[in-house]
Structure 1
Amino acid sequence: MIDLTHKELKELIEYYPETGEFRWKERDQRWFETSRSWKYWNGRYAGARAGSLSGKARDLTIFFLGKQHQAARVAWFYMTGEQPLKSQKIELIDLNKENLKWENLRITNGKGLSNKRKRTTNKSGITGVFFYERTGKWAANGRDKDGKQLRLGYFDTKEDAYAEVKRFNLENYGDPDRGQEGRKLELNHDR
């Protein structure tokens, strides 16, 4: 949680929803213990881009008032005036951790698994589709809005399984290509 009011947050930082960029604002002297530190901070940081990639997950974070905050959560609070609950996650629709445009953010209840990248062990090349050896069929999976995995069915072809994943994504999220990392998929008949 951000230990600031919405008004205080907007006093310290500027968020540009069209670009997803954060910039430090010039700060009032009340935020500093000495006039020297106030002058130094404003001379060095006012107007500068805020945030950096950090941590194992390489998320964009912003460090202010002694704490590190996920930039996506800061953007949500900045735009809505409401802080997300700890159980909620701010997802990046296109999965690009540097794209914090307002139109690319959405809030989810759960583990934030509704928009996952393809696993590195995925051999089908399609998120949500894999060959199930036991049945000799292609399985289609999806995730509900709470991040729970759902089995959508078994299919004779990879194309049919992919079509079911697309149908599910369109029906539940309004985007048939959700989680497909923005690439055009080429389906071949190999396993």
Structure 2
Amino acid sequence: MKTRMLTHARLLEKVVYDPDTGKFTHLGRRRPKVGQFDKDGYVKISVDEVKHQAHRLAWLYMTGNYPPEDMQVDHINGVRDDNRWINLRLATHSENQSYKQISNKSQDGRGVSGARGVYWHGGKGKWIVTVKANNETHFGGYYSDVPSAAIAAANLRNKLNFGSVTP
């Protein structure tokens, strides 16, 4: 049985998902541990010889359905292998991209604010706030300091209906 469209019933026959830990275990195997990392840091699980992303399987396991075609399963804390149920939510592609974490660069320099949507504008000598939503870039103003700009970016994301998003 090699199929891409895994049913909820078949999933329940093959694995057990613990929503508190986000871990899956195979049923009826000597080595019940399941899953391995892919090149992007997501956990992949093989069911009936087909690999599936663990966060999508968690959604199927808990709800009985795959996410709608226009939605993605997002990791709220940005940790790709944290598949606890409380860490998963549905998001559009645009929302999912806006939730991305800023890299933890420690050096000073252009664009290294440590806050999403806050970038250095060399010409103005200030921090600029921009947020992308629905394929449009929304301007949030210029700020002298990063904390003020981070708050403005979070407020703009909330205004654009991305939910409660922290700076």
**TM-score, normalised via structure 1 length:** 0.71
1:138 and 2:165 correspond: no
Gaps of 5+ in 2: none
Amino acid at match of 2:12: K
1:30-109 to 2 correspondence within 5 Å?
A: 42=29, 44-45=30-31, 48-55=32-39, 57-109=40-92
Residue 64 of structure 1 aligns with an amino acid whose one-letter code is V
- What root-mean-square deviation, in Å, do the aligned CA atoms of Structure 1 and Structure 2 show? 2.4
The residue correspondences of 1:179-190 to structure 2 (distance < 5 A) are none
Q: Look up the equivalent residue of 1:17 and give its one-letter code.
A: P
CA distance change for structure 1 residues 152 and 104 in 2, over 3 Å: closer, same or farther? same
Counterpart for residue 4 of structure 1: 6
1:18 and 2:2 aligned: no
Q: Tell me if the contact between 1:113 and 1:147 (Cα under 8 Å) persists in the aligned partners.
A: no
Deviations 1:103-159 (A, max 9, x none): 000111225313102145742222221111233321112344x57653322223333
Q: 2:153 aligns with which of 146, 165, 172?
A: 165
Higher relative contact order, chain-length normalized (CA < 8 Å, sep 6+): 1
Contact 1:169 1:176 in 2 (8 A): no
Preserved contact between residue 129 and residue 141 of structure 1 (Cα < 8 Å): yes
Using the size of structure 2 for normalisation, the TM-score is: 0.80
Count of matched residue positions in the alignment of Structure 1 and Structure 2: 157
Opposite residue 37 of structure 2, the aligned amino acid is L
What percentage of aligned pairs have identical amino acids? 26
8 Å CA contact retained: 2:41, 2:81: no
User: Would you say 1:174 and 2:158 are equivalent positions?
Assistant: no
Q: Is the 8 A contact 1:168 1:176 kept in 2?
A: no
1:188 corresponds to: none
CA distance in 2, matches of 1:116, 1:149: 16
Structure 1 residue 127 and structure 2 residue 116: aligned?
yes
Structure 1 spans left out of the alignment, 5+ residues: 27-41, 178-191
Q: Which one has the largest radius of gyration?
A: 1
The 3 A distance-change label for structure 1 pair 52 and 147 is farther
